[in-house]
Every structure is written in C-alpha cells, then in structure tokens.
Structure 1
C-alpha cells in the first residue's frame, strides 16, 4: 500500500471539485513515479587478465649462444673473466669480477662505492679480493660461478613461461655470448629486483688472468698514475682520503704512506770494525818468537790470513813471512 501525503490529498480534492479527472490522473502518476523510483547500481568493470608471455624465439637464440660459448671456451682454454656491475638510481653501486683459469675459479674481486658527498669529499669505496679456499667466503658480491653455470641457469629459466606482471629479458654481446637472461617485476618502478643472469662484460684469454704483483712505486709515480688504491686493500671507514678522527681530508703523501709505508732514507753506511781478539787468531809459528808488545792503535788486515791487527803487527808478520820464504829458497 502506498501512502499519499496530506498536501497531495488537498490538491486531489480541489481537482475533483473542478471535475478535471484527467489532470488528477497525470499528477498522481508523476508523483508516484518520483516517490517509488529506486536507483540502479553500477556494475564493476572487469579488467582483462594479462596474457602470459612466452620466450619464443629467444629460447632458440639462447641455445645457439651456448654452442658458440663452448667453441670459444675451448679456444681460450677455459681462461676468462666476467664483470657484474650494479648501480642504484641514488648513486651507489658495486662491481664483482670473477676470474677463471683452466675452467676453475681462481679469484673473486669486489668493489663498492657510495653516493657522492654533498660537501665534495671523495666517494666512499670498499674493495677486497678472494683467492683459493677463501673464494665465496664473503656474503657480498655476485656468487662465484662459471659461465657454464650461468648458461645452465638461463636455459632452466627459459624453460618456464614468464609469470604475470613480469617481463623476460635476454641480451647477447657482439660475439653472441650471453649477457642477460632474467625476469623482472614490472609493478616496481625503481631498482626492481631481477631473477636470473645479468652480466656486464666478458673477457676471454690471458687478459683475464690476475696481474703479477708490481713493485712499489715512488710517490711521484703514484701521483702521476692517478693516485690509485691497490686492488684488495681495505680501510676502516671505507676511504683512506678522509680522516674520521680529525674530520679533515688527508693529503696525498699521507695516503701514500698509509698504503706503501713511509719512505725513510737509510742511514749512511758505517763499516764496523771487528774487535781485536788475539785469542781467536791462528797461532804464529814458534820460531817467530813473541809479537811486538808496543803496537800502534790502527787496525788493518794482517798478511798471511792472521785476521786484523795493528800496522806494527802487520810489519812483524810480513818480515817473518819474507824471512821464511828466503830460507826455503836457499840451497842446503
């Protein structure tokens, strides 16, 4: 049952009196339509689900690249290295270098750098090198893996479809070797993490072998070559150029002395005369008699292998040697 307001009833009575039934019906219809009308609810929009991406021909390119790698690896006899660089949009980053010789990892180098300082101080750096049984002991840096391991990871990754909201990336260098094969979440704008392989560069041959330890440079040579910090050298605080105790920048000579030690000039050479000890000298022949008791205070080598002694003793020995020689040459 529909309730009609009193105001409408009064209008209805007036209209009935005026015998205008048609107008009454129209008024009632319009009133009822506005009073009982219900709004319609909007249906939510259904978004189409993103399609699943497949690797397609990229997978075939990866297989061809792996065959190419096997040939080049044989040519360089398993001697190579590769770099993995990463940097953030805020300015910091790191580089890991894996060195392989004879298909075995022999070295892992790591270098990180911080964002530039507003006050102009040198960028903070951290470097270290692992060799032998210590390779892989530091949790930082890219894990020590050969390129064969990276190819196996890439082949396994391309054997599965790319998940929703992700993109698949594959890149090769000029030689056709694998540089990147990973998936990345497209919903993350900055520094989105990746899953897979991402190499920066590959070096084949003897260039990848570690350099021999170089001789200590002079301060002038070190400055001329750009004041470089040796690989693998670490400093508390990150950078040797800033003194955290004083809050001031170190001078180049201070940094050089921290790396190579102070250049202390050696003291001038002073010959040390052995002390005269007649008890340790070989004995004189008995027929020479006793050596002179009064001798000069100088010290010189004595003839005949009798050690060191004064000039007086040297003349006495030489006279006896000459006398013995003359006796041996005289006829019997």
Structure 2
C-alpha cells in the first residue's frame, strides 16, 4: 500500500512538472518584461486583444482557476463577471480519501454572490481579468529571471490564461501566480 502511495505521488508530480514545463515562457519578445506564450501571442498583444474582446462581449465572462498540490489537495474557484463587475465566486476544495487515495472527497465548498462576496477566506481572489492582467504585469512578469522560471500563456483568441513563476530552487508546490483552466464569454 505504501509503495502505491509513493507511485501515485511520483506520477502526480511528474504530471505537474510536465504541465508547467510546457508553459514556460523564456522567450522574450524584445521588451524586458514581455513574454510570448505557446499561443504565439506576447503579453502586450494579449492585453490589447483583451481590451477589444471585452468590449465586444459586454465585459461579461466566467473563468475558473484551479490549483493542485503534490499531496493531491486541489481547489477550483469560478469567478463570474457581468458588465465588468464580479457577481459570484464558486469554490470547492478536495483531497484524496485516506482509505482510497485514488478517490477524492470534498473538504469545503461554497457559492458567494451579492453582498456575501468575499466572506470566505479560501479560494482564488475576487478579481476581474483586467485585475489579473495588472497583477501579472506588476508582480509575476517582473521577477528575476536568473532565479525564477516565468510562465505566460493565452487562449487561442489571446486572453491571458497563465501568468506566474517558479523559483528554480523550489521543489514542491512552487508556482506563484494563476492558471485559468476555463474561460467563457457570457
């Protein structure tokens, strides 16, 4: 049983490493803090595309940010934005069952909207995509590239979906930033 748990953790860590390795954006496009994602769209182009797309779509959308730890603990937060204002946050966290690690159990879940937005501590911050761009440009794309791997990517239409970094000396749960696993216009 112990060897199964170790194998499960090894496979899980390998999956996380491969997924982050495929998103690394060491390719800079001339500007010191401008990065090109796998989509071929750089950070400045992405921001310009976003401004146009949000106008076309009435600044109404929904996105999900997920996190996964090497221990199997995972979270999912869905933020819904209508006319540029966050209207709801839906959160769930899970962990492997102790008796059957291949299965998960819900640790916490909630839905916030209206006046109760922000009443729970857990979950992704209540941010619009505009605020995620600001956070990305100010906090994540500006870290020292000698000691950190920087990750930046967009959807095929150019909307930011990954921005963050990993310290090169860190071993477990090292990603600082955000990764959207789903984005939908409303």
TM-score by length of 1: 0.42
1:84–1:114 CA distance, 2 compared to 1 (3 A):
same
Distance in 1 of aligned mates of 2:82 and 2:110: 20
Which residue number in structure 1 is paired with residue 51 of structure 2? Answer: 70
Q: Moved runs in structure 1, 4+ residues, more than 4 A? A: 119-122
Over residues 15-61 of structure 1, what are the superposed CA-to-partner deviations in whole Å (9 max), with x where a residue is unaligned? xxxxxxxxxxxxxxxxxxxxxxxxxxxxxxxxxxxxxxx87317161
Aligned length: 152
Which structure features the higher share of helix residues? 1
Unaligned runs of 5+ in 2: 1-25, 36-41
Query: How well do the aligned residues superpose, as a CA RMSD in angstroms?
Result: 2.5
Q: Higher RCO, 1 or 2 (CA under 8 Å, sep at least 6)?
A: 2
**Structure-2 change in CA distance of 1:152 and 1:121 (3 Å):** closer
Q: Secondary structure at the match of 2:48?
A: helix
Q: 1:90 pairs with 55, 71, 90, which one?
A: 71
Q: Indicate whether 1:114 and 2:95 are aligned.
A: yes
1:182 to 134, 143, 164: 164
Which one has the largest radius of gyration?
1
Distance 1:189 1:122, change over 3 A: closer
What displacement does 1:68 show? 0.7
Return the TM-score normalized by structure 2.
0.72
**In structure 1, C-alpha distance between the alignment counterparts of 2:104 and 2:68, rounded to whole Å:** 14
Distance 1:71 1:121 in 2: 44
Name the counterpart of 1:59.
34
* 1:81 aligns to 2:62 (yes or no): yes
CA distance in structure 2 between the partners assigned to 1:76 and 1:105 by the alignment: 15
Contact between 1:55 and 1:162, CA under 8 Å: does it hold in 2? no
Q: Considering fraction of residues, name the structure with more strand.
A: 2
Aligned to 2:184: 203
Are the aligned partners of 1:80 and 1:99 in contact in 2 as well (CA < 8 Å)?
Answer: yes
Aligned CA distance change for structure 1 residues 159 and 141 (closer, same or farther; 3 Å): closer
